[in-house]
Structure 1
Amino acid sequence: MIEKTHEHCAICDWLGREAERTAREQGTDHWSSYDTARDGTDHAAHYLAEDGAS
């Protein structure tokens, strides 16, 4: 499951994919990714494996 700060946001979508990829590479079932855009907007995505497995 991926939760994002903003729906239909390219930055949040990318952060979600990166959070999932990083979690799998690290062998964990969760990861969070954050970014702040030049205009000061905060973006975040949180990945949590739905079955608790990576």
Structure 2
Amino acid sequence: MEFRELSDGEWDAIKPFSPPKARVGRPRADDRLTIDGILYVLTTGCRWMDGYANPLWLL
């Protein structure tokens, strides 16, 4: 199966379920990139660490 990033419409459907941004502490990783990274691993069947070889998934 070939991976493709979330479309804007798909992201608009998922975005309301993401937690609110914290007021203190370390800035959060971008939610959309995080979800795309998880979907990449699940779609391609690669190991989690294999995703880090591609700079797109370095969060």
Fold match, TM over 0.5? no
TM-score, normalized by length of structure 1?
0.38
Higher helix share: 2
Higher strand share: 1
TM-score, normalized by length of structure 2?
0.35
